[in-house]
Amino acid sequence: MTGANRHDVTQLLPLVDAIQPVRGKRGRPRKRPCRVQGDRAYDSEPHRKVLRKQGIQPVLAKRNTEHGSGLGVHRWVVERTVSWLHQLRRLRTRYERRDDIHEAFLTLGCVVVCSYFL
């Protein structure tokens, strides 16, 4: 979690490095995603090179190009989920100063959203 005055692209690599191993199938768990998708805010050639070096395919929209990159097909899932979380007033406006308390409310919000569909 970072402040609202930090640009998204500065947090791309720390976020990818913080991804925990994916459990599921037998064998050695994957530590890296196959690809990373992002909007135009993440368009940065140095970051693309670092991701490729780590074996991750960057699917990042380029600035100053026409819309229609196809990322919107997958992005709407994220936007929809954020809108579900924003139905909860405590998550729509952040009142807590401490990160751990906000993350706890975010976890509770995810539990509430999942319980709607069970």
Which helix (H) or strand (E) element contains residue 37? strand 35-38
Residue 51: burial class (beta carbons within 10 Å; 0-12, 13-18, 19+) = buried
Q: What are the pLDDT digits (tens) for 22-64? A: 677 777 777 778 888 887 778 888 889 999 998 889 888 777 7
Task: Measure CA 83 to chain center.
Answer: 14
Give the integer Cα–Cα distance in Å for 116 and 84.
10
Domain boundaries, given as residue ranges, for the chain: 1-69, 75-118
Instruction: Decide if 84 contacts 76 (C-beta within 8 A).
Output: no
pLDDT of residue 77: 76
Q: What are the pLDDT digits (tens) for 52-109? A: 998 889 888 777 777 665 666 667 777 888 888 888 888 888 888 888 888 899 899 9
Mean pLDDT of 10-17: 84
pLDDT of residue 40: 79
Is the model more confident about 22 or about 118? Answer: 118
- Amino acid at position 1, single letter: M
